Amino acid sequence: MEPSNDIKRLIDIMARLRDPQNGCAWDVEQTFETIMPYTIEEAYEVADAIERGDMDDLADELGDLLLQVVYHARIAEEAGLFAFGDVVHAVTDKMIRRHPHVFGPENTRSMTMAKGMWEKVKAQEKAAKAQRQLESGAIEKRPSLLDDVPRVQPSLMRALKMQKKAATVGFDWSEAEPILDKISEEMDELREAMQSKDQSHIAEEYGDLLFAMVNLGRHLGIEAETALAGTNLKFSRRFAFIEDQLEQQGKPIKDASLDEMETLWQLAKTELKPL
């Protein structure tokens, strides 16, 4: 599959940068592992541009993210693993395979438009792949349903994805209300752990509480990562309001009392308009 001229130019630039003789010394030294943090960072910068509604910046950040894909593909090609064209070919086939209600035969499209078709086809693909690996000896036992949830994802996102996976086989709460009781239970266990002064136990119970909160959000139709991002933005705006008000008073924030800051915090809640 031949890439377009534009993408081919980018692929050629990356090959030049990675050239051991005439390329960039820094680029030549990079590996999958060293580039991975930049790939994650670029994905977050794409999300940030979308959150800010900055479309010029979004185009730029999407380019940076695309560069990461080209970078990984180039490293793989040098190792004889796969090339950029293989990446495009694989995702193209996957999109067609997982949308039979769009790309399937005309007389079967309406029959395959059931909700959850993407996950159904994906599960079939995973099962077939696992069977091939078992038969070839590549793996010794069938993988867990949760094995394909990436460990490098932010923990709140990973918790959500694991919960969704478990829910596909019925391991789930039937509604949101009982989860509130679970949260109360986890709060009590956290209080007990705090009394023990055992930091590892405290951290464990705190994690259990966070996991339960993610579960509640899922049942309420709220993603914990997104909700927390909104709260982070709200906190930063209100804190900046406190700083501005104190600056107008000629008082450094480090010299303000907690009561003064709390008063300004309450004022920020009424003065600042929601985004």
**What sign for the dihedral angle of Cα 93, 99, 100, 103?**
negative
For residues 46 and 62, the answer to whether their CB atoms sit within 8 Å is: yes
- The rounded distance, in Å, linking the Cα atoms of 264 and 115 is 49
- The rounded distance, in Å, linking the Cα atoms of 1 and 5 is 12
Predicted local confidence at residue 1, as pLDDT: 52
Does residue 214 carry a pLDDT above 70? yes
Q: Which residues of 125-144 are buried (b: 16+ CB within 10 A; e: fewer)?
A: eeeeebeeeeeeeeeeeeee
Does residue 85 carry a pLDDT above 70? yes
* Mean predicted confidence (pLDDT) in 72-97: 94
- Give the chain's mean pLDDT: 88
Predicted local confidence at residue 256, as pLDDT: 95
- The rounded distance, in Å, linking the Cα atoms of 273 and 155 is 31
Predicted local confidence at residue 138, as pLDDT: 66
What percent of the chain clears pLDDT 70, i.e. is strictly above it? 87
pLDDT tens column, 88-142: 999 999 888 888 778 877 666 565 555 566 666 666 777 677 677 666 776 666 6
Predicted local confidence at residue 39, as pLDDT: 93
- The rounded distance, in Å, linking the Cα atoms of 130 and 148 is 11
Residue with tokens 């800051």: 261
pLDDT tens column, 169-185: 899 999 999 999 999 99
The encoded tokens of residue 19 equal 């050239």
